[in-house]
A and B are shown apart, each in its own frame.
Chain A
């Protein structure tokens, strides 16, 4: 069968490259190994997700306007503004957090929790935001009467991951 031949070829190639790899490495191993054993490999020194990203100009404008609406208790207006912002920057965790605030204001506590979870799922290493999300979740769970989850969320907000 033709196919079988091809597979054998591939396997041979794999074996060859493995052999070459091992041979080459044995040569360099002696030099590098002693120093390397304690050193973690260099990875992504830039750390893209470490710094919380700033909003782009259009989103910042909309976010500010939504926050104003929240302050004024105009939650459905804030919601619509945030949706606009989310269409521009759908993966900005701060917008999702703000949305959770709106849902809390609308007394939709279940959704408030969900939007916090969503925000956390996009927050990366923004630990301040993650804490805020857990705080809000704690309050939302308390409103829902789920004291156990409220307490768990409160502990997470305090830093116990």
Chain B
């Protein structure tokens, strides 16, 4: 009777375990995380790229530095010449085949690219992109899932020889091995040998429990037997190869041979040398005990044991053995660290995906997500933000500064880099996406754009004179300038370039706050803002990403395009399921934007952002705007060159004053970042119909003295004021070389004179 109860109990229990283990196994087998890639690097003659920077990119993409690059994923460099062999990669437009190319540099540029074998010149080479992260259900795990066919013979043979000799014979447990281990342990008086089969080890790994209690062991044994009943040896072996724990990379556990071979050797598992296979197999017994980074000697000894086993089994030749045992361990810095190394950017990717995909799709289907991240830009952003904030803290003698940066491509709207805080690797509050802060004067371009669209010109005189606004039911509002002064009557462009608050409020009230709110929405921040007068000075809070979208529309000549972080999504077998192509929508007339951007250039060349020239050379003619919120709690800068747009915010998480203006805080960070990036000069294409004229700004200054001054300014067709001299051959003066500019300024003076006589 008791026996019967026992048997029934056992059967029920075994049934339960069976269910648990099958669920686990089936769930696991198909769970391949979505992998996220950076943008691919395109190499072509003329590209601004220093050899060192290319090497850095290749390292990030998991390339190996070699004596002479031969296999895919290898490169070598001698002075100005670099050889590299790219790896096969499926893009949304199909397979880009591995290519062995020789890149010749001239200084900081690529001079020539040739096929290494045939010497044929190439005009464009697309490299396989760096893998920058993956979305796995368990956050701190990462893996590259292999199939049985991916596993090299030598790896399988030596794995079995070292860990489980009778793998293909036993039924899940190996009684002989257990007995042998028992004797060995008794003799030693402690546990020195485990008799676990691969199947048992797999079960143990599944449940991540290293307790060595007897009950655990029995459970493991039963589950191992059950596994063997349901699944083939090959399935079990493959699951093992993907599950086995092989080390720790900071907060990330390295599971499986696929990821481990990338992590330790920067190679695909199929490209591993015998010494490398031996090292990994050896590490199974104790990944941290035999860690090559910490215990080199121990790791080498263990590798030696495995290599000898390989030779005695006849799996490697004597010659291979000799080479392998002489091979040095990979140096610590060759180890490919941190797949999820851009958590702030990945979060943005994730948010965009969450709109379209279910969680299971992202963590289980092996999707490939090709993004817009430019690792070169990202590296500079992280480095310079951290350094610049530390320097600013030192200067102001105050701690606790935080910052956020968004960099995008000017015409494409692709997010190239993103920093959500000064500690790029620390996940947490993503200020680039989630910090909503008053944008201060960054709103002014919207005010003046609206003015230009409503009859104002760049030369329209506006009064920078104190005023008091009375809102129905609200307190009186008396805006002031940053310098607490009035600047009298100034032309519109100067009010923007010098960021005069009083003039801005007067202009804004004249054209109507409601219209300006509308235009902020049309610029791309599609939210409701209450149309209070304080909106005119940037009281409305926005995130750095939203500000970037707003300035994107200005930088792209009035064409709105949604910011993009993902280019396309491919399935595990390389079918395109989604592609986020370019789309544009003209929201503002080209001539309005041309006028506004001309004024924004002036903000840098002679306005509040004048000191930017100590970072970015003048010939680049960048346009930009500083912003400072009340009591100097937020410091902003938004600006663009010919090819890149960047927005920087600096402030504190507790919202206390930081004693930095837009120009002394965020603009410094902006300059530090941009000066290390290859930048194209900002060219503004002049729309048809623009007329250039010297606007005569003469008048009486505050002390009642008459003065005159004249400025060459662009005007929309038919809007040149009467009191000005027109120029017939339009072209902005700032794009001419210095000698020519001198000539122009003299002819300009003559024009002014002429205007007196007309």
Interface positions of A (Cβ within 8 A of B) = 3, 7-8, 11, 14-15, 18, 21, 25, 29, 32-33, 36-37, 40-44, 47-49, 56-58, 60-62, 76-77, 79-81, 83-84, 86-88, 90-91, 99, 111, 114-115, 117-118, 121-124, 161
* Interface window among B59-67, B69-77, B217-225, B579-587: B579-587
Task: State whether A41 and B584 are in contact (beta carbons under 8 Å apart), knowing that A18-B708, A57-B44, A90-B643 are contacts in the complex.
Answer: no
On whether the beta carbons of A36 and B705 are closer than 8 Å, the reply is: no
Residues of B within 8 A of A36 (CB): 750, 754
On whether the beta carbons of A114 and B709 are closer than 8 Å, the reply is: no
Contact of B582 among A7, A47, A86 (CB under 8 A): A86
27 contacts across the A-B interface (CB closer than 8 A)? A11-B702, A11-B707, A15-B707, A32-B750, A33-B754, A40-B728, A41-B744, A41-B747, A42-B743, A43-B736, A44-B729, A48-B735, A49-B731, A56-B46, A58-B45, A60-B123, A80-B92, A80-B93, A84-B126, A86-B412, A91-B411, A91-B642, A91-B683, A114-B559, A121-B558, A121-B559, A122-B685
Task: State whether A11 and B709 are in contact (beta carbons under 8 Å apart), knowing that A41-B727, A58-B42, A118-B586 are contacts in the complex.
Answer: no
Q: Mark B318-340, 1 if CB is under 8 A from A, else 0.
A: 00000000000000000000000
On whether the beta carbons of A25 and B123 are closer than 8 Å, the reply is: no
On whether the beta carbons of B93 and A41 are closer than 8 Å, the reply is: no
Q: Mark B697-717, 1 if CB is under 8 A from A, else 0.
A: 000011101011100000000
Q: Kindly state whether residue B124 has any CB partner on chain A within 8 Å.
A: yes
Closest chain B residue to A76 by CB distance?
A: B579
On whether the beta carbons of B707 and A124 are closer than 8 Å, the reply is: no
Task: State whether A41 and B748 are in contact (beta carbons under 8 Å apart), knowing that A11-B701, A18-B708, A121-B557 are contacts in the complex.
Answer: yes
B86 to chain A, nearest CB (A): 16
Residues of B within 8 A of A114 (CB): 559, 583-586
Closest 8 CB pairs of A and B: A41-B747, A90-B411, A58-B124, A58-B44, A57-B123, A80-B93, A44-B731, A40-B728
On whether the beta carbons of B727 and A62 are closer than 8 Å, the reply is: no
On whether the beta carbons of A118 and B559 are closer than 8 Å, the reply is: yes
On whether the beta carbons of A121 and B685 are closer than 8 Å, the reply is: yes
Residues of B within 8 A of A21 (CB): 749
B123 to chain A, nearest CB (A): 4
Interface positions of B (Cβ within 8 A of A) = 42, 44-46, 91-93, 123-124, 126, 409-412, 483-485, 557-559, 579, 581-586, 590, 642-643, 683, 685-688, 701-703, 705, 707-709, 727-729, 731, 735-736, 740, 743-744, 747-751, 753-754
Residues of B within 8 A of A122 (CB): 557, 685
Contact of A7 among B412, B485, B687 (CB under 8 A): B485
Residues of B within 8 A of A161 (CB): 688
Interchain CA distance A143-B225 in the complex, whole Å: 69
B311 to chain A, nearest CB (A): 50
On whether the beta carbons of B44 and A88 are closer than 8 Å, the reply is: yes
Residues of A within 8 A of B586 (CB): 114, 117-118, 121
Contact of A62 among B92, B124, B585, B702 (CB under 8 A): B124
B656 to chain A, nearest CB (A): 27
Interchain CA distance A149-B639 in the complex, whole Å: 36
Residues of A within 8 A of B581 (CB): 79-80, 83
Residues of A within 8 A of B92 (CB): 80
Interchain CA distance A25-B583 in the complex, whole Å: 53
Task: State whether A15 and B749 are in contact (beta carbons under 8 Å apart), knowing that A83-B582, A121-B687 are contacts in the complex.
Answer: no
Contact of B707 among A18, A29, A37, A76 (CB under 8 A): A18
Interface centre among A37, A58, A86, A161 (most CB of B within 10 A): A58
Residues of B within 8 A of A90 (CB): 409-412, 643
Interchain CA distance A80-B576 in the complex, whole Å: 12
B710 to chain A, nearest CB (A): 10
On whether the beta carbons of B93 and A77 are closer than 8 Å, the reply is: yes
Closest chain A residue to B485 by CB distance?
A: A3
On whether the beta carbons of A86 and B735 are closer than 8 Å, the reply is: no
Interchain CA distance A18-B699 in the complex, whole Å: 12
B92 to chain A, nearest CB (A): 6
Closest chain B residue to A125 by CB distance?
A: B688
Interchain CA distance A140-B331 in the complex, whole Å: 61
Closest chain B residue to A60 by CB distance?
A: B123
Closest chain A residue to B411 by CB distance?
A: A90
